[in-house]
Amino acid sequence: MNESQKKQIIVVGGVAGGASFAARMRRLDESAHITMYEKGSFISFANCGLPYHIGKTIKKRKKLLLQTPESFNSRYNVDVKVNTEVISVNTSESTVTVRENDQCETKAYDYLMLAPGCKPINPPIEGFNIPQVYTLRTINDMDHIKKAAKNKAAKCVAVIGGGFIGLEVAENLRDRGLDVMLIELADQVFIPADKEMARILHQHLKEKGIKLYLNNGACNCEKLKNNQLSLSLNSGASLNCDFIVMAVGVSPDTQFLNDSGISLNPRGAIITDNQMRTNIPNVYAAGDAVEVTEFVTNEKAQIPLAGPANRQGRIAADNIAGIDTSYKNTQGTAICKLFDLTAAVTGLNEKTAKRLNIEFNKSYTHSANHAGYYPGASTMAVKLLFSPTIGKLLGAQVIGKEGVDKRIDVFSTAIRQGLTIDDLTELELAYAPPYGSAKDAVNMAGFVAQNILDKLVVPFYVEDLPDINDTQQILLDVRTKKEIKKGMLQGALHIPIDDLRERLGELDDQKEIMVYCQVGMRGYLACRILTQNGFRCRNLSGGYTTYLQYEPV
């Protein structure tokens, strides 16, 4: 077969979605001519690892370069063109216009794969066009930030944005010994989690020396005579720093498609069907620049994650090769390391459920990552959202020091398979003292939610505390004397759980008893005692520990 007879496949973008597509396409079709255009200098690099090279955790830069153009071509016979930008697409002619070294050329295709990814959002803030303001998307960006951090004169950095990149950059620059100011426009970092869970991270950031500015946005930047920057915030505060890293979010890098006839949503994300096909039959798309359907809500969204990007690239290649494969939507399962803590989410969070008027129940648990008697056990905070009718698991959030990744993956799998709270209680998970407990944290979360669903206990939540009326209700603390010395809820009556049966006479059975303990377990036991003795009662989900998450830090 001569070159003109080969199937001509052009790939735009050479990182996660584009590279996975090209590799899969070659495995399925040895004869096709595949050309990959990447406007940056590198392909198939580990962009999720960039912050960790800045922080010297990943010491060798070359570890991030998973493939070079030469190695990719050698293994997959793909013609890789770096520093070459596709500037327009003509779908009626099935051609693209590419620019390399200021020279433009038109190339024809039989199939076009779009994987341009996202670009950092650069808000139009006065003074942010100076060299000391950086974003992080590419290897070159990483090199610039690392060079700025290595400068002996650099003592302080401002990181703007408390999402994944902002948190990871803040951690790694702090690990390098820099003073770090983290500025976030919202009232919390790590937006995929709910606010009370994110407050665990807020406290940890402050413990690690990060200066946290929430409900704040940058409005001006000015270069001072000593080469420092003066950053003005919406709150009126003025902060001095040596350089700035912008991490306020990303947007689809799709402006080159504006006149192509390829359908884009209002944010510029490429619209595809579940086979990753656009509205143009021979044009496919994958990765961060693609609009997806959220798995739990069926809402349209843009969720930039490496795992989905790789799967989408593979699915597009399958369908071009004649294998009927479809993408099964995106859950938004994500995890973030933050110093000694790990935060992870999957599925629906509470604020989204409320915004979309989705009915849910919720529960909080605080469980050890492994058997408490084995050295090194630490606590994980777990929040579940589940259907109030059949108990179908809708979402989960987990924060802790160790074991978070294991549990969020179990919850993610449960959501994907449509499992219920009852199913969580029955999961047989690997147990040995160094790794878990006989009743794993996942099982425990299931048990607590199951008790709510089965009406063995009625929960109340921290946000309900201001509504407690002492003429109709009694707030009861069932913890030990030692525990209450460290703090208790105002106005609470204290009866330790072990004394409760003998002291029921001290309680007014005409009032509802609002019970709490440290994490909710003894509160549940107290409610079972009270209910079976004729009292009306409710238990504070997650106990005093969850209450502390709501308290300002």
pLDDT digits 0-9 by tens, 236-278 = 999 999 999 999 999 999 999 999 999 999 999 999 999 999 9
Residues 216 and 361 occupy one common structural domain: no
Cβ contact 101:299 at 8 Å: no
Report the pLDDT value the prediction gives residue 155, as an integer from 0 to 100.
Answer: 95
Residues 104, 164 share a domain: no
Statement to judge: residues 399 and 448 lie in one domain: yes
Q: Which of 399, 420, 453 is the last residue of a domain?
A: 453
> Please, which residues bridge with residue 336 across strands?
343
* Cα–Cα dist 442/412, whole Å: 11
Tell whether 17 and 110 lie within a shared domain: yes
Q: Assess if residue 331 is contained within a domain.
A: no
Range of the domain at 532: 459-550
Q: What is residue 453's predicted lDDT score, i.e. its pLDDT?
A: 97
Catalytic-residue membership of 48? yes
Q: What residue ranges in 115-254 does DSSP mark as E strands?
A: 118-120, 133-135, 156-160, 179-183, 211-213, 218-223, 229-233, 238-241, 243-246, 250-252
* Active-site residue (options: 48, 221, 336, 527): 48
pLDDT of residue 429: 97
Residue ending a domain, among 429, 453, 477, is: 453
What pLDDT sits at residue 280?
97
Residue 535 lies in a domain: yes
Query: Which CATH number characterizes residue 427's domain?
Result: 3.50.50.60
Kindly state whether residues 97 and 17 are assigned to the same domain: yes
- Which tens digits make up the pLDDT trace of 71-88? 999 999 999 999 999 999
Residue 351 and residue 449 in one domain: yes
Cα–Cα distance measured from residue 150 to residue 277, given in angstroms and rounded to the nearest whole number: 45
| Domain membership flag for residue 278 | yes
Give the residue ranges of the chain where pLDDT is below 50: none
Q: Nearest Cα to 403, choosing from 439, 374, 428, 440?
A: 440
Residue 330 domain-assigned (yes or no): no
Region for residue 178 given its phi and psi (left: phi exceeds 0; alpha: psi -120 to 50; beta: otherwise): beta
- Does 114 share its domain with 9? yes
Co-location of 465 and 440 in the same domain: no
Please tell me the predicted confidence (pLDDT) of residue 128.
86
CATH code for position 504: 3.40.250.10
Q: Say whether both 491 and 441 belong to one domain.
A: no
Is the same domain home to 243 and 255?
no
Q: Is 75 helix (H, G, I), strand (E, B) or coil?
A: helix
The whole-number pLDDT of residue 123 equals 86
Coil, helix or strand for 454?
Answer: coil
Residue 107 buriedness (CB in 10 A; 0-12 / 13-18 / 19+): middle
Q: What's the pTM value of the predicted model, to 2 decimals?
A: 0.94
What is the per-residue pLDDT for 2? 62
Asked if 63 and 50 touch (Cβ cutoff 8 Å), the reply is no
SS3 142: helix
CB 81 within 8 A of CB 72: no
Residue 32 belongs to some domain of the structure: yes
**Three-state SS letters, 333-361:** CEEEEECCEEEEEEECCHHHHHHCCCCCE
Our count of domains for the chain comes to: 4
Do 398 and 481 belong to one domain? no
Q: Give the type of residue at 417.
A: Q
- Determine, yes or no, domain membership for 290: yes
